[in-house]
Amino acid sequence: MDKEERNKIRARCDAASEGPWYYPPARSAIINKNRVLSKVQTKLLPESKIICEIFYDRRHTRTVTKEKATENKKFIAAARTDIPALLDEVELLEQVNEIALQCLDLLAEKMDGYAIKALQEIYSLRPPTPKE
């Protein structure tokens, strides 16, 4: 994944409703005897805004099971903070990688031919850089 794609992901995160998001586990509305509605929201009550509504069918014929609906709510709610945190970690690791490569370059300047061959082997393991 290149920087442009990460920037698009970050832009989608920034455009979404402010987090963190919550899923109130005990707040489900029974639509009819077989269908239940559950929500993911921006804040705990009373000033919450609904992010999404998740339905599950008690008969498990048309939608996911109650257990999957609960796990889906957890995933959606966590995504608002998990994705920006992962993007931050990727950026940090890229910086660390760049510093490490600069250190290898400096070491290569100081080493003899054998060590340079070892460093070239390490460089060959690097993922290809995206085309600018």
- C-beta of residue 76 within 8 angstroms of C-beta of residue 40: yes
Structural domain boundaries enclosing 62: 3-124
What is the secondary structure of 66-122 as a DSSP string? Answer: HHHHHHHHHHHHHHHHHHHHHHHHHHHHHHHHHHHHHHHHHHHHHS-HHHHHHHHHH
pLDDT at site 118: 73
pLDDT at position 126, please?
64
**pLDDT value of residue 56:** 73
In a domain, 74, yes or no: yes
Q: How many domains does the chain have?
A: 1
| Chain segment 75-126, per-residue pLDDT in tens | 998 999 999 999 999 999 999 988 988 887 777 777 666 666 776 777 776 6
Q: Provide the β-strand partners of residue 55.
A: 37
Residue 132 included in any domain: no
Q: What are phi and psi of 124, to 5 degrees?
A: -65, -20
- From residue 19, alpha-carbon distances to 47, 73, 86 in Å are 13, 14, 15
pLDDT in tens, 16-52: 888 888 877 655 666 666 666 777 887 765 677 888 8
Entry pTM: 0.68
